[in-house]
Amino acid sequence: MVKYKRIVLKISGEALAGDAGFGIQPPVIAKIAKEIKAVHDLGVQIAIVCGGGNMWRGEAGAAMGIERAQADYIGMLGTVMNGLALQDALEQIDVPTRVQTSIEMRQIAEPYIRRKAVRHLEKGRVVIFSAGTGNPYFSTDTTAALRAAEINADVILMGKNGVDGVYSADPAKDATAVKYDHLTHMDIIAKGLNVMDTTASSLSMDNDIPLVVFNMNEPGNIERVVKGENVGTTIEG
């Protein structure tokens, strides 16, 4: 039995880049697609929000002198490239998918239409949300929180690249850092923990959406989380 029937899986851009740290690595995406298929086979409704940090970050672009909103649009286009690559990997292993973009580009994907997205999920299609929220100054974490609220998802799964949950401090820099199994949304904000940006955190809190932060690089982890096993850090309440 599964604990969560409708999920939003947030995949950071970095997760698609593998060791290269940049761009798209097809073997890495193929691995992730297999993990998603296993969860799809359980009958779970899956929406995916793709990040774009493997291509471009608006803030970094702005730091190099590009106007911020313009830099953010470049970032949103990066998330579309990732979404299309993920769609390809899923369809190669016979998982039906639809990509919906928050900025219209009808030749390559559907525009985001909430009711249509829900219908696709009900029909067993994996829906990939690309182009973030469609607005500069936002993040794909915020997109995940927003879409999760809109489609009434049971949980947001925050797949991290090698990090297995939320720690009291950066475990790579502080040997005394401890991992939390459970936290509330308020803990994240009050303790200033680095999980999502504050817009995404407050949206998740206000809409009471549980969050599981876990290591995507560990095979079988998405399935474990969906089945309710104690993997990573669960944030709720």
Point out which residues bind ligand UDP (CB under 6 A). Answer: 12-14, 51-53, 57-59, 72, 75-76, 78-79, 132-133, 135-136, 138-141, 143
Distance of CA 229 to the CA centre of its chain: 19
Task: Tell me: is residue 53 an annotated ligand-binding position.
Answer: yes
Q: How far is the CB of 158 from ligand UDP (least distance, A)?
A: 9
* DSSP per-residue codes, 101-150: ESS--TTTSEEP-HHHHHHHHHTT-EEEEESTTSSTT--HHHHHHHHHHH
State the minimum distance, in angstroms, from the CB of residue 71 to ligand UDP: 6
Instruction: Say if residue 180 carries a ligand binding annotation.
Output: no
Q: Judging by DSSP bridges, how do beta strands 126-130 and 97-101 pair with one another?
A: parallel
Q: How far is the CB of 43 from ligand UDP (least distance, A)?
A: 27
Report, in Å, the least distance between residue 84 CB and ligand UDP.
Answer: 15
For ligand UDP, give the closer residue by CB, 1 or 60: 60
Judge whether 139 is annotated as a binding position.
yes
Quick one: tokens of 134? 């469609």
Nearer to ligand UDP, 145 or 188 (CB): 145
- What is the C-alpha separation between 5 and 23, in angstroms, rounded? 32
Q: Which of 217, 210, 188 is nearest to 18 (CA)?
A: 217
Residue 10 marked in a binding site: yes
83 labelled binding-site residue: no
Closer to ligand UDP by CB, 141 or 164: give it.
141
Rounded Cα–Cα distance for residues 126 and 97 (Å): 5
Distance of CA 41 to the CA centre of its chain: 20
The nearest distance, CB 143 to ligand UDP, in angstroms, is 5
CB of 7 to ligand UDP, least distance (A): 17
Q: Shortest CA distance to 134 belongs to which of 160, 162, 104?
A: 104
DSSP string computed for 163-200: --SEESS-TTT-TT--EESEE-HHHHHHTT-SSS-HHH
When the beta carbons of 135 and 202 are compared against ligand UDP, the nearer one is 135
Query: Rounded CA gap, 158 and 51, in Å?
Result: 11
Residue 136 annotated as lining a ligand binding site: yes
Give the nearer residue to ligand UDP in terms of CB position, either 42 or 197.
197
Find out whether 57 is annotated in a ligand binding site: yes
Task: Please identify, using beta-carbon distances, which residue of 127 and 184 lies nearer to ligand UDP.
Answer: 127
Residues marked as binding? 10-13, 52-53, 57, 72, 133-140, 161, 167, 170
Residues marked as binding for ATP? 10-13, 53, 57, 161, 167, 170
Residues marked as binding for UMP? 52, 72, 133-140
